[in-house]
Amino acid sequence: MNTKIPRVRFAPSPTGLLHVGNARTALYNWLVARRAGGQFILRIEDTDLERSEARHEAQLIEDLHWLGLDWNEGPGQLGEPDKGTHGPYRQSDRLAIYAEHTERLLTEGKAYRCFCTPEDLEVERTEAAAEHRTQIYSGRCRALDPATIAKNIADGKPFAVRLKIEDHPLRFHDLVRGPVEFAAESVSDPVLVRSASGFSAGIPVYNYVVTIDDALMQITHVIRGDDHISNTPKQVAIYQAFGWPVPEFAHLSTILGSDRERLSKRHGATSISTFRQMGYLPEAMFNYLALLGWGAEDGKTETFTHDELIKAFSIERVTPSPAIFDFDKLNWLNRHYLKQADPERIAKLAERQFCNHRPDIFPLWSGSELYTAEALAFLASQDPPIHLNVPSLELIAQRKAWFANLLALFFPKVDFLAQLPAKAAFIFAVDLVSARANEENIAVLAVDSARTVLSELASRVRTHNGHVTPEAFKEWMNEIKDATGIKGKELFYPVRIALTGFHSGPDFDKIIPLIENGATLGLSIPSVRDRINQFVGV
RNA sequence: GGCGCUAUCGUCUAGGGGUUAGGACGUGAGAUUCUCAAUCUUAAAACACGGGUUCGAUUCCCGUUAGCGCUACCA
């Protein structure tokens, strides 16, 4: 067991969006560091020059921050210097370091030059396959005499650098899985530095550079995906060749989709930024990811704040088996945190979701917040009058209050904020076409009582002046009930269809003020009167 | 093919040589409401299979099966 204060790292490649699986790896690393007062280090693995992009790195960092993760050491952004003293933290800035280390291995005889051609290797591979053996390198360049080596180099023969693996089983300790051992004959001398022609000549391979980076950055616990298990014996051999202490490893299981295949876009959202755009809260994502492959010691607790999770987490309790990503449970957690969140914060996030749907009225504070109603009136009274087409401060405040009511009504109905505009759409406009096309609605409206109710209501609306208050509306409903004897669904359904386009939905005393106030706040929302009239065809 | 990892309700998991195998999500039912959502109550739901070890195995060991990963001079 490694009892040192942990130094852990998250080492993503900036080749795309941050996948939830990687985010979970980052989270577990962060948790281990925070729990023990250790350091969490961010390292960017950008040696794949063709696919790595600076914008991806920036996005990655933003997503990590959004999730609530921070790091003690990492690459500087926008020309800022690196944070930490074990840098540089981008692999592309570390190439010279790798070269030095290769030199050292070569002079110490721990590594050797391999002049085998791809064709030579291909032969070995086919032979091994034919004999149902693990394909391993024969090591034929291991013992080349110095004269031959010198001659080959002088002849300009390309060579790779290989590590000499001592002939003993390679084992390592895994904090999640316990001891893991690979038979000596299953691991052959791995290539450290490529020979291949052109572009990639002399570029060290991944397994080599991570090991050097981890060792130099004094990483004590390597926590990463289980797709690296098979790489680990090679890496252990590299540590040993340099005489470096071998860290603890923890290999996290893969996150699968509902069909038990690796979670991919096919299964829906997979990147942190997508979830963010859909209106998931970071605390929900944080909590869900923690629960995916780990459970609290009491076997019961499901919701955690950051601090609670830091206290409760331990890497040893992480499950080794693969986990299926459960959108339902994430949704449940998101609803949970939505209910707890500060309404103003939710309002800001929610408003953004509405912008695409009703750009004419959202954001509610569009224009300016600088003008009071008084100021606007003053400007309009000037000669010549100045008309600013912006809502006044007072109006904005009223709209915000109105929006808060709208949210309070609809957000218990959604899993994530992006569902809000569709759920609340009928407040902004009634879709008469689909309302009339809906089978259940047709059945409701086909009954005589429905016609009676609606005409009764229409006549009251017609003779009513000014706003319809929820109280007045309720009064009407009671009158209609008493006058016609129609009650319950027969009474409520047709009215709701006329008002909203749906036979079921929120209570009238919630909907009515929303509609009526909305109609007066310059939000181009049809009033109760408009709706009833339009529906009965006046 | 080889090597490796994994296996408790549909899903995430707790547990661990003798338990009514616990919790959560989801699902069903009920309460509430005109209805929907929310809320509350409640129900159904699991130790992959076969051998050992043992007085006793879901738990320990071995094998089978299945799934996944690696099998590159990719990262």
A332/B43 CA-to-C1' distance in Å: 21
Residue A390: CB atoms within 10 Å: 16
Residue nearest to nucleotide B4 (CA to C1'): A230
| CA to C1' distance (Å), from A301 to B22 | 12
Among A380, A390, A404, residue whose Cα is nearest residue A522: A390
**Pairing outcome for strands A160-163 and A191-193:** antiparallel
Lookup: nucleotide whose C1' is closest to A491 CA: B34
Q: How far apart are the first and last CA of chain A?
A: 81
> Strand B: which nucleotides have any atom within 7 A of a protein Cβ?
1-8, 10-15, 22-26, 33-39, 67-75
Q: Nucleotide B1: nearest residue by CA–C1'? A: A132
Return the amino acid letter for A425: A
Task: Note the pLDDT tens digit of each residue in A231-271.
Answer: 999 999 999 999 999 999 999 999 999 888 888 888 888 89
Q: What's the pLDDT tens digit per position in A192-242?
A: 998 855 555 678 999 999 999 999 999 999 999 999 999 999 999 999 999
Q: By three-state DSSP, how is residue A248 classified?
A: strand
Nearest 5°: the CA angle A145, A146, A151 is: 105
The protein residue nearest B2 (Cα–C1') is A134
On the question of pLDDT at A370 being above 90, the answer is no
| Residues A390, A394, A395, A397, CA torsion sign | positive
pLDDT one-digit tens code per residue, A399-438: 888 999 999 999 899 999 999 999 999 999 898 888 888 8
pLDDT computed for residue A538 by the predictor: 59
Question: What local confidence, expressed as pLDDT, does residue A372 receive?
Answer: 73
Provide the pLDDT for residue A1. 45
**Backbone phi, then psi, for A165, in 5-degree steps?**
-95, 125
Please, what is the average pLDDT of chain A?
88
Domains of chain A and CATH, by start: 7-91+256-337 (3.40.50.620), 94-252 (3.40.50.620), 342-426 (no CATH), 429-536 (1.10.10.350)
| Average pLDDT, integer, range A333-358 | 90
pLDDT surpasses 80 at A511: yes
Percent of chain A with pLDDT over 70: 96
pLDDT at A452: 87
Residue A247 CA to residue A311 CA, distance in Å, equals 23
- Between the CA of A283 and the C1' of B53, what is the distance in angstroms? 48
Angstrom distance, A319 CA to B48 C1': 18
**What was the pLDDT predicted at A406?**
92
C1’ B14 / CA A2, Å: 27
